[in-house]
Amino acid sequence: MDGPRAAVVLVGRNPTPALLSSLTLPADHLVLVASDGTRPLARRVAAAVERLASPESVRVVSVGPDPHDFGPVTDTMAALHRAGGGEPWFLDYTGGTKVMSVAAALLHERVLPPERHPHARRWRHYLDAARDTLRTADGSHPGRPVVGDGVDLRVLAGIHGAHWLWDRDPEPVRLFVQGGRQALQARFPDLSPAVRRGVVAEGRVLSHLLRHTRRHPETEVVGARQVVDPRHPDGSIADFDAIVRYRHRVLCVEAKTRPDDVVARAGWTVAKARRVFGAAAQVLFVHTGPAVPGLRERVTAYNPALSARSVHVWSLDDLLSRLTSFEEIRRAFFPGPGAPAPGAYTGSDTGPDTAPAPSEPPAPAPPEHHPGPADGPVLVTSLGGSRLGTLTAVHAHRPAGTLVLPSRQSVRDGMREAAARTLHAAEHPGAPPADAARLREGGYRDRVRFTPDPVDGFDADAVAAVARDWITREQDTDPPPPVIADITTGTKAMSLGLALAARRSGACATYQLARRRTVVCLTHGALPLRGRARVDWPLVLPGYTPLAGDRPGEGAGASAVSLAGRVCREARSQVDTGLLDAARAALVRAASGPVDVWMDASLTDLEECLTAQERPSLVLTFDDRAVGLTAPGRYRRRTPGGRAHEVGRGAWAQSVFAATVHLGTRCDVAGTVVALARPGGDVSRAVELVDWIAHADPEREPGRISFGEPLRPLVAVASPDALPPLLDTDVSRL
């Protein structure tokens, strides 16, 4: 046998990796593993795989309603292994939650041990998007080039639940592409000059792209498309002027006659492109007239998440003159592997072309009971994009010593002292915050260490080696201390590496469940958290300042100071300060514990406040939880002192989602966003757009404030004298 005949592929919110893995792995029997929330996406992937590859069988299996719970995930994977008669199987753990990935990879390693399956490491895969390769856990294995045969724009949109309105292909642009200005004039002689300019701009861009891609077999270019609204089948929810596909990557093109239209619309365009085509989608803005110096920088200033990797801005003249071949277009917009077309891996999955993994000595047994603070455990964890998970891990375990593994992307500034202060507060509840001198005198700083060099955040084995070396040194005492590896934060590879190190060292691997306020140990199950972490919020929330202007920590001034009184005049058109003040006051009144209120510092600056709608204006912190409040204005200024322009529903929805991503990056599952809009206008439509971007199930009434899904904002219609019931929530008790 050359390799396994079955494959298990995890499915998350972005189904594209699951589709590519399913088409690439040489398996006759495919199982797509999702949660209840992502099961519809998995079914769409299954239908696409059956159409394109025709395997003998395709099944969709759910781990249940909570994809952050190790138990059901492990039980589901074990049941699949038993149902397959214990035969080997491929695993792709790219999709799903971090818990799903780690639990699946650990189960795969356990049921296919190297002494019986020496090549099992090359049967575990994750998608390396930079190389378009399914990398394996066997570092000597070349990986599998991604196969995308038959994957076109319709397939990619379809697995994301998007479909075209085929009768909405605009005839004027099509006529221009086919016959130029004369054909357009003959058929539509009464077009206004502004509309005509727009049609010509779109037509010139589309003609240019078609001319230079039509002979390449792996590309596809279509003209204007509108996406069917799932709630209103006769209407559209998104549109694009043109779409270009190269293999499985997509470029959504927008043609503008005014360069200034690019800046404010970039965010919404990226949001809808990624909602329809996944994280690999990029956006190209082409504007008429000469290139505008600094226009690309203005896009980034408006929303820092709109990097040069996701948003391209070209003048039409530059596009026509500089991109005159397919290869130039590919290099400009489709980075990554571009030479050989990917094909199926032709090597062996069991033969001797690579050496089997060296046999491991038997791992020591984990402790009989999960170690508590009295046992003097040592902790190894990682530092991810959110620093909050590292701080709450220190609070949860009260370790005698901690090693933090940063990656090259981690921000370490202030983290050692913040972790030491969190540890001091956990061991001295009710005491005032410790200053730097007290932390040094008490030895708290010495109990928190970082690795001298960052780890490779995408190499699980490298992370496991670093963590295991440290664990071995720490346990070289008599008696050796118990060890805990907390895998809550960092990349999936970092979390998997820590979990592997724990398994091979007899340590406990844990994950913090924000929704249930528990710590789950893979060996000992769920454990309640003791108290709440005291967090250095200025470290976690860069760019925010206390609303009251005094020292935070005890809720001082949380309800006495008005946001409207702190911001500059221009900021009041960017965000609804009156609504934000009312919502903040309601949440503070409802809280049974201390609340600190932080305001976006840019609201006081005449220029920086022009992007304030892209961030939560207020963040209320309840010990170790954060609620962001955002209320993007209906009218906004584009320049200081300029005229206020009415905001479209898409731009309003994008601002809500940008604010949600902003808080999620900083607080991860311990943060949630409440977005508020006053009655009037088409508020319901804006709410529908937010739900659509966030993959949220439509709700007639806003849900309750909860934690665990940081990219799903709550949207509520409100006025200062008529606030929704969700703002009566006592967040201190959540």
H/E run at residue 70: helix 70-83
pLDDT digits (tens, 9 = 90+) for 576-606: 999 999 999 999 999 998 899 999 999 999 8
Using CA atoms, how far residue 644 sits from 21, 572, 607, 637, 655, in Å, is 48, 11, 14, 4, 16
Beta strands in 384-476 (DSSP E): 401-406, 448-450
Residues 653 and 705 in one domain: yes
- What DSSP state is assigned to residue 412? -
For the cut 70, the answer to whether the pLDDT of residue 168 exceeds it is no
Distance CA 658, CA 656 (A): 5
User: Is there a single domain that holds both residue 88 and residue 197?
Assistant: no
Per-residue pLDDT of 405-457, as tens digits, reads 888 777 778 888 888 888 888 888 888 888 888 888 888 888 889 888 888 88
The SS3 assignment for 636 reads: strand
Residues 2-58: tens digit of each pLDDT: 689 999 999 998 999 999 999 999 999 999 999 998 999 999 999 999 999 989 999
Q: With the C-alpha atoms ordered 174, 179, 185, 188, is the resulting torsion angle positive or negative? A: negative
Nearest Cα to Cα of residue 659 among 636, 693, 705, 625 = 693
Residues 517 and 543 in one domain: no
Query: What CATH number has the domain bearing residue 256?
Result: 3.40.1350.10
- Work out the mean pLDDT of the chain and round it to a whole number: 86
Contact at 8 Å (CB) between 9 and 37? no
**104-126: b or e for each residue (b if 16 or more CB lie within 10 Å)?**
bbbbbbebbeeeebbbbbbbbbb
**Residues 392, 485 within the same domain:** yes
| 717-723, long-range: CB < 8 A, 24+ apart | 717/676, 717/677, 717/678, 717/679, 717/683, 717/687, 718/579, 718/582, 718/583, 718/676, 718/677, 718/678, 719/579, 719/582, 719/678, 719/679, 720/578, 720/579, 720/581, 720/582, 721/582, 723/582, 723/583, 723/586
- Checking DSSP bridges between strand 378-383 and strand 483-486, what pairing results, if any? parallel
Q: Is 358 within a domain?
A: no
pLDDT digits (tens, 9 = 90+) for 96-134: 988 899 999 999 999 998 888 888 889 999 888 878 889
The per-residue pLDDT for 2 is 65
Are both 137 and 180 inside the same structural domain?
A: no
3-state SS of 324-375? CCHHHHHHHHCCCCCCCCCCCCCCCCCCCCCCCCCCCCCCCCCCCCCCCHHH
Nearest to 244 by CA among 270, 218, 226: 218
The answer to whether residue 182 sits within a structural domain is: yes
Domain at 496, CATH number: 3.40.50.10770
Domain containing residue 407: 373-528
Q: String of b and e for 683-702 (b: at least 16 CB within 10 Å)? A: bebbbbbbbbbbbbeeeeeb
Is the model's pLDDT at 354 over the cut of 50?
Answer: no
Contact yes or no for 13/38 (Cβ under 8 A):
yes
| 349 within some domain | no
Sheet holding 618-622, edge to edge: 544-546, 596-600, 618-622, 625-630, 671-677, 714-717
CA distance 318 to 323: 8
Q: With the C-alpha atoms ordered 319, 324, 328, 334, is the resulting torsion angle positive or negative?
A: positive
Q: Pick from 103, 126, 145: which residue ends a domain?
A: 145
Q: Is the pLDDT of residue 339 over 50?
A: no
How far is the C-alpha of 589 from the C-alpha of 592, rounded, in Å? Answer: 8
Query: Which range has the worst mean pLDDT, 132-141, 335-344, 365-374?
Result: 335-344
Alpha-carbon span 554 to 594, nearest angstrom: 6
The two structure tokens encoding residue 122: 């090359």
Tokens 């934690």 locate to 707
Task: Decide: pTM greater than 0.75.
Answer: yes
Distance (Å, rounded) from C-alpha 713 to C-alpha 720? 20
Helix axes 388-397, 415-427, angle to 10 degrees: 30
Residue located via tokens 């009434």: 701
Domain boundary among 113, 145, 177: 145
333, 351, 385 - which closes a domain:
333
68-82: b (≥16 Cβ within 10 Å) or e: bbbbbbbebbeebbe
- Say if residues 591 and 731 touch (Cβ distance below 8 Å): yes
User: Which residue has tokens 């592929």?
Assistant: 9
Do residues 705 and 731 lie in contact, with contact meaning Cβ atoms separated by under 8 Å? Answer: yes
Tell me how many domains the chain contains: 4
Q: Are residues 122 and 167 located together in one domain of the fold?
A: no
What's the pLDDT tens digit per position in 362-387? Answer: 677 788 889 988 888 999 999 877 78
In a domain, 344, yes or no: no
User: Which pLDDT tens digit goes with each residue over 51-77?
Assistant: 999 899 999 999 998 888 888 999 999
Tokens representing residue 210 in the block: 């078609």
d(CA 19, CA 52) in angstroms, rounded, equals: 10
Do both 495 and 588 map to the same domain? no
pLDDT above 70 coverage of the chain, percent: 93
Q: In what order do the strands lie in the sheet with 448-450?
A: 448-450, 401-406, 378-383, 483-486, 508-513, 518-521, 525-528
Classify residue 44: in a domain, yes or no: yes
Regarding whether 280 and 422 lie in a shared domain, the answer is no
Q: Is position 116 within any domain?
A: yes
**Residue at 105 is within a domain:** yes
Lookup result for tokens 């199987």: 89
Looking at the structure, tell me whether residues 108 and 167 fall in a common domain.
no
Which pLDDT tens digit goes with each residue over 512-569?
A: 887 788 888 988 888 888 888 888 888 889 899 998 744 444 444 455 678 888 998 8
CB 285 within 8 A of CB 240: no
Tokens 């009251």 belong to which residue?
Answer: 548
Residue 238 parent element (H or E): strand 236-240
**Quick one: 377 and 393 in the same domain?**
yes
Question: Rounded to 5 degrees, what angle do the CA atoms 280, 281, 283 make?
Answer: 145
Give the max Cα distance, the chain. 92
Note whether residue 367 is domain-resident. no
User: Collapsing DSSP states into helix, strand and coil, what is residue 376?
Assistant: coil
Residues 177 and 133 in one domain: no
* Helix (H) or strand (E) segment spanning residue 209: helix 193-213
Do 544 and 666 lie in one domain? The reply is: yes
Residue entry with tokens 């079914």: 43
